[in-house]
Amino acid sequence: MHDIEPYFKWRDSYIASEDEQSPFFGRIYDEFKFTKKVYNYFIHPQWDEFGSSTLYMKILFVDYDEHFAIIELIGEWNDCINNDIMYLKRNIIDELTDLGISKFILACENVLNFHGSDDCYYEEWYEDIKEDNGWICFLNVLDHVEDEMCTTKIQHYVNFGLEFKDINWRRQKPKLFFLSISQMLEQSIKKLSF
């Protein structure tokens, strides 16, 4: 797991530790010292802690003019025991929504397990952004993770599922990637309205 780095090819456009508005502004990384773990396996030092002991993240791109953020996750998402959604919502999402971010794309292919509790924080997140035509989209969710998310009923607030699987987002520029996800969501809404 220590070889899995957060995606780095957009760093010419955005670096969270250099963004004065980012929750990770000023963070310094030691490329040689591995201290963070998932399942007793060290993970790459570029991943950011946000309060969870099992889930880590990287804010890959934020566009304050277009009001969107792209985040990559790794680890075990455990709302049941660790209340990871509370840490994500309070320590990261609330700060970003206060800055006008209302559209969130979370790359979840490295989320190895999900243990749900309830949908309260997801509902709150959705309520915070819906007035601004905001949305939340989880990409490339593993099947067993998706099953648990559906059991927790977060699909009422978060977009994920078949049409958001197997998306090779790393080949796109961040703004074009955002536009393609926006179009997919618009088409989904149109299908539901018929």
Per-residue pLDDT of the chain (194 residues; tens, 9 = 90+): 677 899 999 999 999 999 999 999 999 988 778 888 888 888 889 999 999 999 999 999 999 999 999 999 999 999 999 999 999 999 999 999 999 999 999 999 999 999 999 999 999 999 999 999 999 999 999 999 999 999 999 999 999 999 999 999 999 999 999 999 999 998 876 655 44
The CATH number fitting domain 16-193, selected from 3.40.50.740, 3.30.750.24, 3.20.20.140, 2.30.29.30 = 3.30.750.24
Nearest of 184, 172, 116, 105 to residue 140 by alpha carbon: 105
pLDDT of residue 31: 78
pTM of the model: 0.95
**Separation CA 165–CA 109 (nearest Å):** 9
Cα 77 to Cα 14, 15, 37, 141: the distances in Å are 26, 24, 13, 12
The torsion angle over the Cα atoms of residues 91, 97, 101 and 105, rounded to 10 degrees, is 50
Gap between the Cα atoms of 3 and 5, Å rounded: 6
Question: pLDDT per residue over 91-117, tens digit each?
Answer: 999 999 999 999 999 999 999 999 999
Q: What is the mean pLDDT of the chain?
A: 93
- The whole-number pLDDT of residue 141 equals 98
**Would you say how long the chain is, in residues?**
194
Strands of 103-115's sheet in order across: 55-63, 68-78, 103-115, 135-139
